[in-house]
């Protein structure tokens, strides 16, 4: 019951309009089933084969989000099952998602990943790269994807002021791009920021999706 308790504690802190992605990657079905029984329906995975296996063995009303670094050759494995891809960090990747989604006659929702952290290990567009891609306009020809917003990960640091600045920079950029390219598209509304250690700061900066794993499921063995 520990998972249920931890899940309820996180949900109690989330204001209306913010959704919780329970990061279930590397955790067994039993853990997901406990969270599911407690009412959680959105789960995040980061490996294509693991997502496929869990989709096939767990309730079909679960909404699966892909939150990891997505390799081009693995896209085809998740396209039939995924509800939202959080980590699109290049036009090439977006094109490949579109190509594989067309093969199964789906329109797949995607978030653009921006690099906001002071860490080289994290991925994503720079703000200028993202502006350039969107200004180019070629993405508008991709009929089997739907851009629904942005995702970013702050630096892993104890410095809350730095984290706040990084989240606020992404929030400001999101609104800039929304006003330039998506003013008439209600679907472009998601800002995926915040994990177990910093989701409160992310919510304060305007996050609509938080990705929480260890705080719910505990640390992986």
Q: What is the pLDDT of residues 149-163, one digit of tens each?
A: 999 999 999 999 999
Domain ranges of the chain: 2-217
Q: What is the pLDDT of residue 31?
A: 95
Q: What is the pLDDT of residues 89-133, one digit of tens each?
A: 999 999 999 999 999 999 999 999 999 998 777 789 999 999 999
Structure tokens at 61: 């009303």
Least confident of 1-5, 76-80, 85-89, 113-117: 1-5
* Alpha-carbon dihedral 176, 111, 31, 59, rounded to 10 degrees: 120
Q: What is the pLDDT of residues 181-213, one digit of tens each?
A: 999 999 999 999 999 999 999 999 999 999 999
Burial annotation 164-181 (CB, 10 A radius, 16+ → b, else e): bebbbbbbebbeebbeeb
State the chain's mean pLDDT as an integer.
95
CATH top-level class of 2-217: alpha beta
SS3 at position 45 = strand
């Amino acid at each position: 019951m520990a998972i249920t308790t931890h899940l309820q504690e996180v949900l109690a802190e989330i204001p209306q309009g913010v959704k919780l992605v329970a990061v279930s990657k590397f955790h067994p079905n039993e853990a997901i089933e406990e969270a599911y029984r407690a009412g959680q329906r959105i789960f995040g995975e980061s490996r294509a084969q693991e997502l496929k296996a869990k989709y096939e063995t767990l309730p079909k009303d679960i909404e699966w989000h892909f939150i990891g670094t997505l390799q081009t050759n693995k896209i085809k494995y998740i396209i039939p099952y995924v509800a939202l891809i959080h980590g699109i960090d290049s036009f090439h990747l977006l094109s490949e998602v579109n190509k594989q989604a067309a093969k199964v006659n789906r329109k797949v929702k995607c978030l653009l990943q921006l690099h906001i952290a002071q860490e080289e290990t994290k991925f994503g567009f720079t703000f200028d790269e993202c502006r350039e891609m969107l200004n180019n306009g070629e993405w508008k020809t991709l009929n089997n994807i739907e851009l629904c917003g942005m995702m970013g990960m702050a630096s892993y640091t104890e410095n809350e002021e730095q984290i706040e600045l990084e989240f606020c920079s992404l929030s400001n950029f999101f609104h800039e791009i929304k006003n330039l390219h998506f003013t008439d598209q209600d679907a472009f509304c998601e800002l995926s920021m915040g994990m177990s250690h910093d989701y409160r700061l992310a919510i304060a900066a305007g996050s609509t999706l938080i990705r929480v794993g260890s705080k719910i499921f505990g640390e992986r063995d």
